[in-house]
Structures are given as C-alpha cells and as structure tokens.
Structure 1
C-alpha cells in the first residue's frame, strides 16, 4: 500500500511539474513565433534554448515517470517536441485540478459532520459519491497523461525507425562476428583436448603394445602380461576422454531426453561436488535456446569444480515473461572474469547471437553467480 501511494505521489508531482514546464514552453514558443516567424532559418540561440528545455523534460520524465527518452539532441526535433508537448502539460494541469476537486467533494460529508449539523444527509452523500467518481476519473486521466508524455517523448526524442534499423543491423553484424569467433574458440578447445589428452594416450597405448609384442614368449611373458594390462588401462582412459570430448561438442541426451535430463547428467558428472538443480520449466525450449542454456550450466559447473574450489553449486532454471533464466551459483573463491577470454567469453558471444545476455558476478573471495537470460517465447 505504501508503495502504491508513493508511486501515486511521484506521478502527481511529475504531472504538476510538467504543467509548470508546459507554461514555460508555451511562452517560449510564442516568443519564438512572434520574433522569428518571418525568418526562414531558426537562430542558434533559439535552438539552444529548445535543447535546454528538452534536457529539463528528459530529467523530469526519468525522475518521476522512469521514462528514458533517448539522447537525441537534434535541434529541429527538440522544437517539434516542445510544440507538441505543451498541450499535454496543460492537460495534466487540468487533470490534477479534477483530482483535487474530486478529493474535496468526496470528503464534504466528513467535514460537514465534523464542523456543523447535517440538515440534508442525502445531498451530502450524493456529493461524496460524485466527488469520489470524479476523483477516480481524475486519477485515470493522470496516468493517461503520463502515457501520452511517454509516447510524445519516444516519438520526437527517441531514435527514428531508420536509426533503429541501422542500430539493429550493427548489432546483428557484431553478433555474427562474435559467433564466428566463438566457433573458432570452440574448435581450438576441442583441438587442445584431442592433442593434449586423447592423442597422448593413444601414443602411449601404441608404445605399450609395441613393447608387449617385443616381450612375447620366453622369460618375458610376465612382463608382456603387465604391459598388456597397462595398454588396456590406457585404452579405457582414452575411451573416457573421447566420450568427454564428444559430450563437450554436443550431448546426445539433450536431443533424446531434453534439457532437464542433460542438466541432471551435468550434475552427476561434477566430480563428486554436490550440484542442486531447481528446474522450473513446464515446456521444453527450442533447440538453440536449450543448447545455449546447457552449455552455460556446463561451463559454470566445470569452472566451479576446477578453478573456484567450491563445495557446492546451485542451478536454477526458470521461465518468466517469455524469457528463459539460468542462474548458476557456487560458494567458491570468486574472481571469474568473462572479459579475460576462455569459456565464459564464448558463452557471452553465443548468447548475444540469440539476443540473450550473460552476467557474471564474482567478487574476490566469492561467491560466483553466472546468470543467462534468453528469449524463449
């Protein structure tokens, strides 16, 4: 209740301030129209004055209505905005007067009963009911004025459709380049896994088998058996590492059983560290979204196991307002920095290509929280 009253008071203050600025803007426009109407070009002092008034309006909208009107400072657009906006400001003043009148009429019965006897209570009751109805209409009109202010600011001060399109093209070009770079990074990671892990084990396996062949027969049969057992162990480890590489490239369980089963498998493969999964999805997300969500969890859990020294990890998967939210928290030592490169940077690029975001909060000493937001409507 307190929050509602506070927002209402802020809205009323913003509308009242807008009425005052509308009077100033109207006087400014009248002076400009009378003084400079015969001229074709608008002088620089007039344009600077319009820009100052527009900056004042931006601050008012941001403070009272939490409306961000952009940062476009085109002088011509500033004049157009002021020419359209003063009517909304004066309308706001009229609406505020209606609110005050409704509040006064709605409380007439109370004041009369306090200070004087009542001769005709039904007249007072009807006056109160009419006043409360007028108050209701005034409050609704006040919020309608706020909506009108928002639309005018976005129409005249916000970026144009062409500017928005150019901005979107730039974002898509940047995300495309980031995806290409992320693919290259992933290929390099796979190459390192194969070269430093699996390849070395296969070389060792070949050497052990060669030594076992040379030791076959005679007195070296025991040595040959030992070398064969070592070769068998190396082959088992090589197979495990090959499965690990294949799992990192793309887990088959993601297609076979869905995102929840894949995340449960990540928890099982965490090397003994407890991983608590809170899965709140009722429907399976799309392929691209669930793949990105899986790799976010996989990378965050792997970092917690290998680098953070954490004793536990919590994974939360939710869907709110058409967006998939994935949050991975650990109680490790912190210090994770996605801008330094590595897997987190690749994840940020992957999410950006899907219009998603990756936020990493990891102060020194911990804890670390990795949050991914993805559109999934």
Structure 2
C-alpha cells in the first residue's frame, strides 16, 4: 500500500511539474514563432534568431528528460536534433496542461469523496441522500481523473520516445552493447567462482586431507599401541573436519535445497547457518524460475556472508517481494557501513544480476547501515 501511494505521489508531482514547464514551453513556442515570423524574409537574421531559439529549446528538453526519467521512469535519447526538440516542445505543452487538469480533478474528486465519510459520520447533516450522491460522484470523478493521469503519463512517454528517441536502431545497438557487457561479466564471474572453489579446496579440504594422511602414516609406523590409538582418534577427527569442509564448499557452489525445496527453504538454510541473527521476510506468492531463484539465493548468501565478515553487524534483515514484474531482494545490516561497491564480491553479484537484465545497488555510508537491493525480472 505504501509503495502504491509513493508511486502515485511521484506521478502527481511529475505531472504538476510538467504543467509548470508546459506554461514556460507555451510562452517559448509563441515568442520563438513570432520572432521567426518577423525575420522570415531575411535568411541571415533568421539564422541569428535560430541560434538562441535552439539553445533554449535544448535546455527545456533536457529539463523534460530529467523530469520524465525521475518521476515517470521514461528514458529518452540525448542524441536528438534541435529541430526535433522544437517539435517536441510544440507538441508537449498541451499535454502538460491536460495533466494538471486531471490532477485538479483528482483533488476535487478526493474532496467530494471525503464528504461521504465526513458528512455521514462526523457532521450532522439534514440530507444524507445529498451527501451520498456527492460522495459517490466524487469517488467516480476520482477514478476517472486518476485514469486520465495515467493516460497522460503514458502519452508523455510515447511523445518523448517519438520525438527524442531512442530509435529502433539505437535501441538495438544499446541492447547489443548490454548483452556484450553482461556476457563478459558472466564469463568473468564464472572464472572468479572457479578461483574461489580452487582456493577453498586448497586452503581447506586439501590441508585437512594432508593432515589426515600424516596421522594415518604415523599410526601405521608406530609401535606403541596406546599412541597408535591416539593417532587413529586424531585421524578420525581430521576426517570429520575434512568432510565438514567439503560439505561447506559444496553448499557454497550450489545448495541442493534450492532444487529440492525451493528458494524459501534455501534461504532459511542461510539464516540457520549465519552466526548473527537474521530476519527473513519472504513475500513471494509463487516460486520464481530457477535462474532467478539461483541469482536471488547467491545475492542473499554472499551479502549475508560479507556482512558477517566485515560489517560488525549484530543483526541482518533480508526481504524478498514482487513489484510490477520484478523480484526485489534487499539485505540490510546495522553494521559500520563503508562497503565498497567496486569490491570483488559485490561486483560479482552485479554481474549475476546483469546476466538476467537485473540491477544491484549498494548504499553503504560510513557508519552504516548497509543496504543492498537487487531487482530481477521475474515476469
């Protein structure tokens, strides 16, 4: 509910700012059109007038691009021409005024809809039927004007894409570049994982097995039965530790619980194996696809491991939820902060997320807390 209200407030703010800029754009279009009309017969003067007109047009368009990106999540290309910028401004200002009309109607509808509650339960009114009709009429106006705001926002995105781009060829080129970068990242992540496995085997399991072999060799060569029994006991303990290390390496490579019981069970295993308290908020109604679940698991596992090792945290909160076709994974600890987003572990997680066209953001100011958020497409 909070996320819906937050998105609605952002949309309303974006349209309100768009209405303010529409007034400025209307004045600019009128003044620039009048200026060009006066010098239409003199090419040199026309070129002199066009220079500041194009400069102001590009400034206004850059403002619109930032507004659309921040409030309406609409990306547009920066490689537009000055002529296309002028056409965009001339076409957009009526849409901005329509947006503020819809916003005003939302406020009116909300006010009349509130009468349904205030007039019925708070005020002592004479005609409850009037309150009932006004209240439901206001709610109906609120619904229609809200749909109008959504339509204006969608039209804003399409208009910017039509006049400013990116074109289909630019979009394909950008997609090719993204795939090339993500493919290189996946290859590097695989190499990093292989190096980590080799290091774990060499520093852990291999050393245990060497110690086990030495203990067994001393037991075979020993002549004292009591000493031989002690060496065999130590060898048995070393074999148990080597088996634990081998299980740890296998669990870090890929948890069998992810295939057998699903993502929730695998994350509960992470919670149980962590030395500090971890709170898991799992709000996913359906099991995600195996690639998405795998990346989500490793994001949580690596982030929790890093928090335990480096953050000096006393508590970690892990959350998973779905938002508009995206699986949002968040890991927050109450540690000292200062995590380096360019560090090897976090870069590896970013590569995993990018391989699925996802993103991973790190917010870790000095003093904490550290918040890692991954968004993975799951639709």
Give the TM-score taking structure 1 as reference length.
0.75
Select 1:291's aligned residue among 290, 294, 302.
Answer: 294
Cα deviation code 1:29-69 (max 9, x no counterpart)? 46546755897xx9475255234224224426755994565
Select 2:163's aligned residue among 156, 162, 167.
Answer: 156
Select 1:179's aligned residue among 179, 186, 190.
Answer: 186
Deviation at 1:154, TM superposition (A): 2.4
Hey, what's the Cα distance between the residues in 2 that align with 1:14 and 1:142? Answer: 15
Is the CA contact (8 Å cut-off) linking 1:202 and 1:238 kept in structure 2?
A: yes
Equivalent runs, 1:16-55 vs 2, <5 Å: 17-19=21-23, 21-29=25-33, 32=36, 35=39, 43=47, 46=50, 48-55=52-59
2:237 is equivalent to residue 233 of structure 1: yes
Select 1:166's aligned residue among 154, 173, 183.
Answer: 173
2:317 is equivalent to residue 310 of structure 1: no
Moved more, 262-271 or 228-237: 262-271
Q: Which runs of 4+ in 1 moved over 6 A?
A: 3-10, 136-142
Unaligned runs of 5+ in 2: 109-133
Deviation at 1:74, TM superposition (A): 1.7
Alignment root-mean-square deviation, CA: 3.9
Q: Secondary structure at the match of 2:374?
A: strand
Q: Secondary structure at the match of 2:322?
A: strand
Q: Which residue of 2 aligns with 1:353?
A: 355
Cα deviation code 1:177-221 (max 9, x no counterpart)? 0111111101100000011111111111111111110004xxx11
Give the TM-score taking structure 2 as reference length.
0.75
Moved more, 70-79 or 289-298: 70-79
Hey, what's the Cα distance between the residues in 2 that align with 1:4 and 1:284? Answer: 29
Hey, what's the Cα distance between the residues in 2 that align with 1:336 and 1:5? Answer: 32
- The count of corresponding residues between Structure 1 and Structure 2 is 336
Question: Structure 1 pair 26/375, CA: closer, same or farther in 2 (3 Å)?
Answer: same
Question: Structure 1 pair 317/13, CA: closer, same or farther in 2 (3 Å)?
Answer: closer
Q: Secondary structure at the match of 1:372?
A: strand
Question: Structure 1 pair 66/207, CA: closer, same or farther in 2 (3 Å)?
Answer: closer
Is the CA contact (8 Å cut-off) linking 2:22 and 2:92 kept in structure 1?
A: no
Is the CA contact (8 Å cut-off) linking 1:360 and 1:371 kept in structure 2?
A: yes
Q: Which residue of 2 aligns with 1:77?
A: 84
Q: Which residue of 1 aligns with 2:252?
A: 248
Question: Which of the two has higher C-alpha Rg?
Answer: 1
